[in-house]
Amino acid sequence: MRFEGACRLMFGIPCDPADVSDLLESISILGCTLFADRVAFARYEPGPEMWHGGTRRSPIPGGMRSASKAPG
C-alpha cells in the first residue's frame, strides 16, 4: 500500500497526538514495515497492535529491509 503526495505521520493516539512529522512525499507499507519517503521507519507488532520505530541504536525487532529495497 502506498500513499503519494504531501502527507504527514501523526504520533501517539488520534485524540491526543504527541507529535506530527515534517511533510513527506510518500508513505508506504510493505508486509509489516512502514516506509517514510522510501526509508524503513517502523515495524508493526500485531500482538499489541502497535507500530514500533527504530534507530541505529535501537533497531526494529526482527530487522527491517534496507532503504534500497523500499517499495516503489
pLDDT band at 13 (very low <50, low <70, confident <90, very high): confident
Domain ranges of the chain: 2-58
Q: What pLDDT is stored for residue 34 in this prediction?
A: 92
pTM to 2 decimal places? 0.68
Planar angle of CA 5, 44, 9, nearest 5 degrees: 30
pLDDT tens-digit series, residues 16-70:
999 999 999 999 999 999 999 988 889 998 998 888 887 666 655 544 444 444 5
Query: Can you tell me the distance from the alpha carbon of 42 to that of 51, in angstroms, rounded to the nearest whole number?
Result: 6
72 pLDDT more than 60:
no
